[in-house]
């Protein structure tokens, strides 16, 4: 009983926290680049399909998404992806590669309903950033 109540409380807290971290703060931000806390990134790759995962940004914002994919492509490369909470047709994909020069993160957030997108990349200093851009600069058809 106690566990159940605790789970419900955690779930409510988690839901509340996620609700604050929707696209309105992220996709409509005026910032060109948002740094992600790199220390938090490794853990998200343990998430299972259907779980809600949060990316925590340096400025306090978080991006919550429901995992729809978590694949180990190769031994050193794995990719997690999902649909952003609170955003229609907006998806995130994040790839991690353990290379000789260090752990590298890449990915993107693309809204299929608009031309809004973010590119996720790892800077030379190892910091991971969301860079605001347009869908056309990430995905090209034909």
Partner 1 sequence: MIFNCFMKTYLRFLFFIVFFISGQLFAQPYNSLPGAQHVIFLDFDGYTVTGTSWNSSYNGGNPIVCAASGYSDAEVRTVFNMMTEDYRPFNINITTDEAVYDAASIQQRMRVLFTPTKNWYPQSAGGVAYLSTFGSISNKVCFIFTSALGNASNAGEAGSHEAGHTLTLQHHSEFNALCEKTNEYNSGTGSGETSWAPIMGVGYNKNMTLWSDVASNFSCTYMQDDLAGITSIPNNGVAYRADDHGNDINTSTDLVMIASAFSDSGIIGTNTDVDIFHITIATKSYLNIIAKPWSLGTPNSKANLDVSLIVKNSTGQTIRTHEPLNVLNAWVNNLLLEPGEYYIQIKGTGNANQTGYGSLGKYYITGDVTAALPMPLAAALVASDTVICKGSSIDFFDQSQGSPTSWTWTFTGGTPSVSNAQNPVNILYANAGTFAVKLTVFDAVTNNSRTYNSYIRVNNLPTLNIVPTNPYICGNNTTALMATGALAYQWSPAVGLINTNLPRTTVNGISENTTYTVMGTDVNGCTGSKDVMVQYYPPLQLIKSPATERVIVCRYDSTELSVTGAENYTWSPGTGLSNTNTGNVKVRLDEGSRFYTVTGTDANGCSASIYFSVLARACDSLAANVYVDSSAICTPTCVTFRDSSTGHPTSWQWSFPGGTPATSSLQNPGLVCYAAPGSYDVSLMVSDGVDISTRTFSGLIVAADMPVVTMTTALLPLCKGDTGGIKLSGAQYYMWSFDPSLIFPAFPDSIRINPVDTTTYYVKGFINVFNNNGYNNSGNSFVQCSDTESIKINVVYCGTVPLKIIYFTALQNGEAIHTQWKLAEQESVDYYELERSLDGIHFESIQKITRTQKDTYGWVDKNITAGYPVFYYRLRCQLAGGRTIYSNIEKVVMQNKYDQWLSIRPNPVTTNMELVFIADKNGMATLTIHDMPGKLMYKESFEVLKGYRDKKINLSALLPGVYMVQLKMGEKQITQKVIRL
List residues binding partner 1 (CB under 8 A): 49, 67-74, 77-79, 81-83, 91-93, 95, 97, 99, 104, 106-108, 110, 112, 137-142
Phi, psi for 81 (deg, rounded to 5): -150, 165
- Is the CB of 125 or the CB of 142 nearer to partner 1? 142
Cβ atoms of 44 and 80 closer than 8 Å: yes
- Is the CB of 56 or the CB of 106 nearer to partner 1? 106
Question: CB of residue 11 vs partner 1: minimum separation in angstroms?
Answer: 22
- Is the CB of 8 or the CB of 123 nearer to partner 1? 123
CB neighbours of residue 140 within 10 Å: 7
Question: CB of residue 18 vs partner 1: minimum separation in angstroms?
Answer: 18
Question: CB of residue 137 vs partner 1: minimum separation in angstroms?
Answer: 6
Return the DSSP state at 11.
Answer: H
* SS3 readout for 50-63: CCEEEEEECCCCEE
d(CA 139, CA 78): 20
- Is the CB of 59 or the CB of 116 nearer to partner 1? 116
């Amino acid at each position: 009983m106690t566990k159940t109540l605790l789970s419900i409380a955690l779930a409510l807290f988690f839901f509340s926290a996620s609700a604050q971290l929707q696209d309105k703060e992220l996709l409509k931000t005026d910032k060109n680049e948002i740094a992600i806390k790199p220390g938090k990134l490794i853990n998200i790759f343990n998430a299972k399909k259907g779980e809600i995962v949060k990316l925590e940004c340096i400025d306090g914002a978080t991006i919550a998404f429901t995992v729809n994919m978590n694949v180990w492509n190769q031994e050193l490369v794995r990719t997690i992806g999902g649909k952003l909470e609170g955003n229609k047709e907006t998806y995130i994909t994040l790839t991690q590669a353990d290379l000789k020069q260090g752990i590298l993160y890449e990915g993107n957030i693309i809204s299929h309903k608009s031309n809004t997108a973010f590119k996720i990349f790892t800077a030379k200093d190892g910091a991971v950033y969301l860079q605001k851009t347009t869908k056309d600069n990430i995905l090209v058809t034909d």
